[in-house]
Structures are given as C-alpha cells and as structure tokens.
Amino acid sequence: MMRKGKMLVVTCLIALILTAWTPGFGYAEEKTGFTLTDNKGSASPGQNLEVTVNGNNLKDLYAYEALITFDPDIVELDKAETKLKGFFIPPKVEKGKMTIAFTKIGKEKGESGNTALSTISFKGVAQGNANIKLVSVKALDPKLTSTVYNYKTTFDDLPGYEWAQMEIEALASSGIIKGTSETTFSPGANVSRADFTSLLVRALKLDAEVDGNFNDVGPSDYYYKEVGIAKKLGIAQGKGNNQFEPKKSISRQDMMVVAARAMKIAGKALDESDSDLSRFSDASEVAAYAVNPLAQLIKKEIILGYSGKINPKDTAVRAQAAVIIYRLLNK
C-alpha cells in the first residue's frame, strides 16, 4: 500500500508538471534563470556530446520541466540523468524536440542557488553543429506554484554568429544582457570599456561602496555606479591620471584582463601561476600586463582563441562579450 501511495503522489506531480502551463502561474524574475552548457563545439559521427541543464540563483526549486531542441540529423539522444534526489522522468523525444522533467518527493526542501539539474548525452550521427538549445523551463516550488522561463530569442540579426547564439539567447532571456532594439542584438558592434565593465559587475553581482570614481566618469552617466564598484574593487584600473576612457572600444586583451580580475573578486578560482601562451601564433603581440590573465582564462577554457590566434589588440564585439560573460557564469 505504501508503494502504491508513493507512486500515486509521483504520478500526480508528473501530471501537474506536464499540464500546468496556464498564464496565471506567472513568469520569470530576472535574477533566476536556466542555462544549457555544452562541453564541445560541434558533433562528429560516433562521438558523445554532453550538455548540462543548470539552474542559476534558484529559489526553492521543487520540480521542473525543460524543453530542449536539437538537430536530429546531427545527433541522437543517448541518455539523460540527474544527481538530484527525487524522481527523474525519462526524456520524451520527437522530431528534434526533447522534454525532461524532475520532481522531488514528499516534504523535501527545494533546490536553491546555482545547481546542475541534469546531464544529457547525445551521440553524433553526422558532422556539424547540433544546435542544441534550451527553449523553456517551467519551475515549481514546494507549494507547486509555477513560473515559466522562456528562452526563445527575438533577435533577427544573429545569422553568421551561430557560435555565440546560444550564449546571447540565454543571457538576454535572463535579463543579464540586452539587445540594441526589440529585434536586434548588433553582435558585431564594438563594446565600450564602460559597457563591458558594467556588464561584468552586474552579471557577477559584485558590490562595493562607491566613494569616488574616475575623473571622466560623472554621476549622471548610466554606468557611474558599476564603474565605481569596479574601481573600488580594483577590477578597473584606468588609463593613467585617473582617466578611464569609458566610451572607448575595449580591446580583446583588456576585456580578458578585467574579466580575470572580476572572476577572482567573485571567488572563481584561476591558476595565477599560468603564463603559457606558446600555442598561439600571435602570443608575442600580447601586452606584458595581459599575459597572465589571458593564460589563466585560456586554461579555464573561457578563452579558446580562433585559428591558433588570440588577436589581443582587436576590438571586442558584443557577441564575444556575451560568450565570455556566459562562460564566466558557468565556470
């Protein structure tokens, strides 16, 4: 009787997860979100491709249902599993769409903070980009109140930037990064020093008392607080004479330097002794102050390089900034 009763409770919870999609349940707050991390860039025949569904800034997550899409001509589902204690529902797969769901059982506390929710393994059937994307997540708290998180992009200018599309979509849906309009992201536009610094501070939730700022950053500037926090914490060190040059486009190497400093302040471990850039053909172009930070981020796989180069002096663009921020949040 106990076994039948337990299974009845589980069945009821599953039914609720799979059917309770009415608008009255509400929508996501900016601070809580879900992301999908990919451990490889593309799929190859016979190779395994593993992705992880992550919950960020969770608040008492008791159950969830996630909708994921992929290219069935490139990969096929191998298995899905979770390390969370509860009942994991086997994936439902149909024509490149997959639904996974999980619920705790009984009077258990929900998950809070940053948590890996499930791991999904695919097997490559052809060479190419599997286009694995997180479309939506429906989350339930212990009172079975539901919140829907939608991750379908509204940007129509991402063709040619497929290598950054998943990261841009995830950050935009979570409210961490914004488009340049309702339908555009401008992925190839340069990023200013102030904008990247502000994005870092907000994404990593860094804070400090702003009791001063750079001479060329005024109280009326929209980035005043974030740049002031970065200055106070030693993330932004300026260009001399207490100047920050906030509107100047940030170089790739400067973007990586401030990213490494921010990671350390946020408590994300880096190997500070690493300085090996020898595998990149343009390593000699890296400024002395940037060698260690770049090597640390490369070892952490936050920076991967392109065609054997780092391109340290190139100006950073919005798509690159989104990828770096996404990887920072998921390391």
- pLDDT (average), residues 107-130: 90
Q: Which residue has the higher pLDDT, 39 or 314?
A: 314
Q: Residue written as tokens 């330097």?
A: 257
Q: What is the mean pLDDT of the chain?
A: 85
Partnered with residue 89 across adjacent β-strands are 101
Taken as a whole, the chain contains a residue count of: 331
Tell me the C-alpha distance between 27 and 156, whole Å: 23
CB 299 within 8 A of CB 324: no
H or E element: which one contains 38? strand 33-38
pLDDT of residue 13: 53
The pTM assigned to this predicted structure is 0.58
Q: Half-sphere exposure of residue 163, counting CA atoms within 13 Å on the CB side?
A: 11
- Please report where in the chains the tokens 């509107």 appear, as a residue: 247
pLDDT at residue 116, as a whole number: 93
Max mean pLDDT among 29-38, 221-230, 269-278 falls in 221-230
Least confident window among 62-76, 77-91, 110-124, 265-279: 265-279
Closest CA to 33 of 144, 139, 128, 190: 139
The whole-number pLDDT of residue 5 equals: 52
Question: Residue 4 pLDDT more than 70?
Answer: no
Report the distance separating Cα 72 and Cα 180, nearest Å.
33
- Based on C-alpha coordinates, what's the Rg of the chain? 22
> How many angstroms separate the CA atoms of 256 and 293, rounded?
7
Q: Is the pLDDT of residue 93 over 70?
A: yes
What pLDDT sits at residue 174?
A: 67
pLDDT (0 to 100) of residue 30 = 45
Tokens coding 149: 């998180």
Nearest to 274 by CA among 297, 306, 303, 247: 297
Least reliable range by pLDDT among 4-8, 113-117, 292-296: 4-8
**Could you please report the per-residue DSSP string of 154-165?**
--S--TT-HHHH
Does the pLDDT of residue 256 top 90, yes or no? yes
The answer, yes or no, to whether residue 182 has pLDDT greater than 80, is no
Is the pLDDT assigned to residue 297 strictly greater than 80? yes
Whether 313 has a pLDDT exceeding 90, the answer reads: yes
Q: What pLDDT shows up at residue 21?
A: 40
| Of the candidates 316, 305, 237, 236, the residue with the CA atom closest to the CA atom of residue 276 | 305
